[in-house]
Chains A and B, each alone.
Chain A
């Protein structure tokens, strides 16, 4: 088995695949729910819009595969939209949506409570595109996912939606500040998400992916039990 990168047919996954490949990880792209459910680790990349992605994941059975994998302690990394989909609600791509989940919404995978809303600012440019700093929260500096990544490290963001700040603070490992302070890295047990793109974040991103691979290795050697 391998690290499975979930293909929901919304875009190119080669940069994510190669980011793992460069580190010597056995990673492959798959849209097979069984393969996802049985993977050593699952990576949900960020391409497309919230509603379209959830529609496809549910229709294809991939959402169930992801839920199965997570339920047995399989390490999971969601990137950008892949982080957002871990939460309860979003309205990107929903007809008639207001952008702040006060109108029509779409349910996400719902592993964590919280919702995703459109970045709005009269002062700042949206989408939030470019290199921005990670505000690693006190106590998360030694988290296995963030080892070797200093406070204030620059990572590459490109997004128009972000988590509202009122998610459970215990799952927030780092924040970024743009419009408001939104969770930029979340994690609980072996389920992780990054709002930025580690596969586009040069050396810092590579370190995060290497850290995730180490978590996967540790999980594999401990037989899938939660550490």
Chain B
């Protein structure tokens, strides 16, 4: 049976691991590849490297990171952040990334999703959706897509955008609740479930995990295929093994033979 995945995310700036709280207040620590190897040994199913302040100047640093990860990791990994065109994505895949994650650039140019999935296959293309609650009259559960690291609202409905991304060939949706990110209050379950039910591709729930129960809720109530977290792993609140053993105790199928 296909296992539900636990994915640690490493926020990277200038080749170093950082973790933000509500996308600001960064605290530095560690080499991302070393950290990822630790996660691999602890039972991480995949690793995501998110280049949070990527500019064109940082490209070389991130490419070097992708190449080093490919030499060190025996699990799949994703690189995202700042990817703006097919050439940039191709370089990342050539450096060894199993998957690339698109965010702002895909919102500005949805054709990029189609081009990437044609070039590398759907399995290699993740569309990251940063969503923030934006209720309207008569529509309490509504979320809006934010871009530029959560700094700019787009007015686009998050569920509709996830559907379009899937139609265009995205292989997975990495769904982050901007309201919950960094709060440790748990995933936005209504958001996760709304997107998971709307798209025929796997959804990775992200943003807000603080307890073991939150991980299980993302899968059981949010109907996510995978759960992603950064700080609880980064600061050692839980090991990945602890999370997976807890998920297994809740009847969730996870990989425990590592």
Of the candidates B75, B200, B255, the one whose C-beta lies within 8 Å of that of A125 is B200
A113 at interface, CB cutoff 8 A: no
Contact with B along A112-131 (1 / 0, CB 8 A): 00000000000001011111
B3 touches A200 (CB 8 A): no
A127-B121, A160-B123 known; A12-B93 Cβ under 8 A: yes
A203 touches B258 (CB 8 A): yes
A62 at interface, CB cutoff 8 A: no
Considering the chains assembled together, what is the distance between the CA atoms of A206 and B41 in angstroms? 12
B190 at interface, CB cutoff 8 A: no
Considering the chains assembled together, what is the distance between the CA atoms of A201 and B44 in angstroms? 11
Q: Which of B165-196 contact A (CB under 8 A)?
A: 171-172
A154-B257, A200-B76 known; A125-B5 Cβ under 8 A: no
Of the candidates B3, B70, B96, B122, the one whose C-beta lies within 8 Å of that of A127 is B122
A130 touches B3 (CB 8 A): yes
B45 at interface, CB cutoff 8 A: yes
For A150, the closest partner residue in chain B by CB is B257
A15 touches B70 (CB 8 A): yes
Considering the chains assembled together, what is the distance between the CA atoms of A132 and B225 in angstroms? 13
| Residues in B whose Cβ lies below 8 Å from that of A125 | 200-202, 225
Considering the chains assembled together, what is the distance between the CA atoms of A21 and B182 in angstroms? 39
A19 touches B74 (CB 8 A): yes
For A15, the closest partner residue in chain B by CB is B70
Contact with B along A127-150 (1 / 0, CB 8 A): 111111100000000000000001
Considering the chains assembled together, what is the distance between the CA atoms of A174 and B111 in angstroms? 40
B2 touches A14 (CB 8 A): no
A202 touches B171 (CB 8 A): no
Give A178 Cβ to nearest chain B Cβ, in Å. 7
A11 at interface, CB cutoff 8 A: yes
Considering the chains assembled together, what is the distance between the CA atoms of A178 and B1 in angstroms? 8
B71 at interface, CB cutoff 8 A: yes
For B92, the closest partner residue in chain A by CB is A12
Of the candidates B71, B74, B93, the one whose C-beta lies within 8 Å of that of A202 is B74
| Residues in A whose Cβ lies below 8 Å from that of B76 | 156, 158, 197, 200
For A203, the closest partner residue in chain B by CB is B258
Contact with B along A165-203 (1 / 0, CB 8 A): 000000000000110000000000000000001011111
For B97, the closest partner residue in chain A by CB is A12
Considering the chains assembled together, what is the distance between the CA atoms of A202 and B74 in angstroms? 5
B2 touches A132 (CB 8 A): yes
Contact with B along A3-22 (1 / 0, CB 8 A): 00000000110110011001
A158 touches B257 (CB 8 A): no
Considering the chains assembled together, what is the distance between the CA atoms of A133 and B3 in angstroms? 8
Q: Which of B1-51 contact A (CB under 8 A)?
A: 1-3, 5, 40, 45
A201 touches B74 (CB 8 A): yes
A158 touches B2 (CB 8 A): no
| Residues in B whose Cβ lies below 8 Å from that of A128 | 2
| Residues in B whose Cβ lies below 8 Å from that of A153 | 257
A154-B255, A199-B74, A202-B40 known; A130-B2 Cβ under 8 A: yes
B147 at interface, CB cutoff 8 A: no
| Residues in A whose Cβ lies below 8 Å from that of B258 | 202-204
| Residues in B whose Cβ lies below 8 Å from that of A159 | 123
Considering the chains assembled together, what is the distance between the CA atoms of A125 and B255 in angstroms? 19
A12-B70, A154-B257 known; A202-B75 Cβ under 8 A: yes
| Residues in A whose Cβ lies below 8 Å from that of B256 | 154
The 7 closest A-B pairs by CB, nearest first: A154-B255, A131-B3, A131-B255, A14-B70, A127-B123, A12-B96, A158-B123
Given contacts A131-B3, A159-B123, A200-B76, 11 further A-B contacts (CB under 8 A): A12-B95, A14-B70, A127-B171, A128-B2, A129-B171, A154-B255, A160-B122, A200-B75, A201-B74, A203-B74, A203-B258
Some 16 contacts from A to B, beta carbons below 8 A apart, are A15-B70, A125-B200, A125-B201, A127-B121, A130-B45, A130-B225, A132-B2, A154-B255, A154-B256, A160-B122, A177-B1, A197-B76, A200-B75, A202-B74, A203-B257, A205-B74
